Amino acid sequence: MNTTPTAAPTAFSHGGTRAAVYDAFHAARARSDLPARLYAAAMGDDNPSEIAASSSCDWPLLALMTARLRMVPGQLLVDAGCGTGGVGLWLACALNVRLDGFDLSTVAVQEATGRRRHFLGEQSDRAAFRVAELEETSLPDGCAHGIVCVNALSGGIDKATVVYELGRLLAPGGRLVTTRSLRPGTSPPWQDQARAAGLQVEQVDERPGEPGMWQQLYQLWIEHADDLRRELGKEQERSMLAEAHQMLPALSRRRAVLLTLHRPTAATADPVASGAADTMAMPDRRPGGRPTPLGRTPQ
C-alpha cells in the first residue's frame, strides 16, 4: 500500500509505464490552474505559489531544507524526482548554487527547463534538467554537495535502493534531505538505509502539520470532482479521487518528517553511527549485494 501522499498518479493504478503515466499527469496539470488553486486553499498562508509543486512543499519545508543543506555558493544541488522544477529552482536561487534536476517524466523535465529564467534570470545556465530514474540516475559518484527529494519516495519505489543511489552521488560532507513518512506502529528504517549507503542520520525534523494539509487537499478534490473531470479529464479525476479515498483514513495516524542524511568526511566519520570504517568514504556495493556499476569515479 502506498502510504505517502503524492498528488501524482502511480503506474499500477493506471496501467502502462510509470513514465507514460507521469507524462499524462503533468500534461493535464499544464492545461488547468484548478489543482494549483486547490493547493492554495489547502495550504493557506504556507503556500509558496511560485513553486507550483505537486507535493507537500510549503514555506516551512523550504526553510528547513535551506537550513539543513548547509551549502556554499557555487556548489551543486541535485533535485531528485524534480517534477516541474520549482523546488530545486527556488533553492538554487536562495542558496546561490548550481542545480541538476531529474525526473521520470519528459513532460515535467521540459516544463522545468522552461522555468529556469523565471527563477535565475540571466544565470539560467546554472540549472539543467534531465530524464532519469531515482533508482538509476546516471550521475557520477560524489558529484553533489546537496540533494533534495520531496514526496518522490512513494508507491512501488524501493526506498533502500534509492537512498543508496542518491548517497552515491554525495561528495564527502554533502547532505541528502528527503521527506519520509511512517505507518502507525512501525519503526523507522532510516538508520539501516543510511548505514548501507555509508551515510549518517544527522537530523529528523517532525512535520506535524503535513498530514492535515493532505487531509484538506483530498477533501477539496472530492468536493470538486466534477470540476476536476471537466478541466483535467476523466482519467486524472479518477486517479486523484482514488488516492484521496485511499489515503484519508490513515492520515490522522501518520508521522511525516524531513530526514537529513550526511556523508561524513574522514575527519568527522563516526564508525559507531555509520557502520564499518571501510564504508565511510563510498560504499562499493548496492543493497542486496549488487556491485556498483563500473566507470564512475569520485569527483
Q: Is residue 4 part of a domain?
A: no
Q: What is the mean pLDDT of residues 136-162?
A: 93
Q: Is residue 296 part of a domain?
A: no
- For residue 173, the model assigns a pLDDT of 97
Q: Is residue 267 part of a domain?
A: yes
Q: Quick one: three-class SS letters along the chain?
A: CCCCCCCCCCHHHHCCCHHHHHHHHHHHHHCCCHHHHHHHHHHHHHCCCCCCCCCCCCHHHHHHHHHHHCCCCCCEEEEECCCCCHHHHHHHHHHCCEEEEEECCHHHHHHHHHCHHHHHHHHHHHEEEEECECCECCCCCCCEEEEEECCCCCCCCCHHHHHHHHHHHEEEEEEEEEEEEECCCCCCCHHHHHHHCCCEEEEEEECCCHHHHHHHHHHHHHHCHHHHHHHHCHHHHHHHHHHHHHHHHHHHHCEEEEEEEECCCCCCCCHHHHCCHHHCCCCCECHHHCECCCCCCCC
Q: Is residue 247 part of a domain?
A: yes
User: Where does the pLDDT of residue 54 fall: very low under 50, low under 70, confident under 90, or very high at 90 and above?
Assistant: confident
**257, three cell numbers:** 518528517
Domain total of the chain:
1
User: Where does the pLDDT of residue 186 fall: very low under 50, low under 70, confident under 90, or very high at 90 and above?
Assistant: confident
Nearest CA among 1, 170, 176 for reference residue 81: 176
**Sign of the torsion angle spanned by Cα atoms 50, 53, 56, 57:** negative
Q: Is residue 298 part of a domain?
A: no
Cβ atoms of 134 and 152 closer than 8 Å: yes
For residues 262 and 70, what is the distance between their CA atoms, to the nearest angstrom?
11
For residues 219 and 236, what is the distance between their CA atoms, to the nearest angstrom?
16
Write out pLDDT tens, residues 245-294. 999 998 988 999 999 999 999 766 554 444 333 333 344 445 544 333 32
Q: Which domain holds residue 167?
A: 11-283
Cβ atoms of 82 and 69 closer than 8 Å: no
Least confident of 11-15, 31-35, 179-183, 225-229: 11-15
**Dmax of the chain from CA atoms?**
59
- For residue 295, the model assigns a pLDDT of 30
Cα–chain-centroid distance for residue 5?
A: 12
- Residues above pLDDT 70, as percent of the chain: 83
Q: Where residue 269 sits, what CATH number does that domain have?
A: 3.40.50.150
**212, three cell numbers:** 492535515
- For residue 5, the model assigns a pLDDT of 62
Residue 26 or 7, more confident:
26
Whether pLDDT at 207 is above 60: yes
Task: Report yes or no on whether pTM surpasses 0.75.
Answer: yes
Nearest CA among 155, 204, 159 for reference residue 177: 204
User: Where does the pLDDT of residue 156 fall: very low under 50, low under 70, confident under 90, or very high at 90 and above?
Assistant: confident
**Chain mean pLDDT for the chain:** 86
Whether pLDDT at 3 is above 50: no
One-letter amino acid of 148? V
Cβ atoms of 143 and 99 closer than 8 Å: no
- For residue 212, the model assigns a pLDDT of 95
In the block, which residue shows the cell 500500500? 1
Cβ atoms of 146 and 174 closer than 8 Å: yes
Least confident of 5-9, 83-87, 92-96, 203-207: 5-9
Least confident of 1-5, 18-22, 27-31, 216-220: 1-5
- For residue 278, the model assigns a pLDDT of 31
Q: Is residue 36 part of a domain?
A: yes
- Residues above pLDDT 90, as percent of the chain: 76
- For residue 155, the model assigns a pLDDT of 67
Q: Is residue 291 part of a domain?
A: no
Q: Is residue 290 part of a domain?
A: no
Kindly report the CA angle at 46 between 45 and 50, in degrees rounded to 5? 100
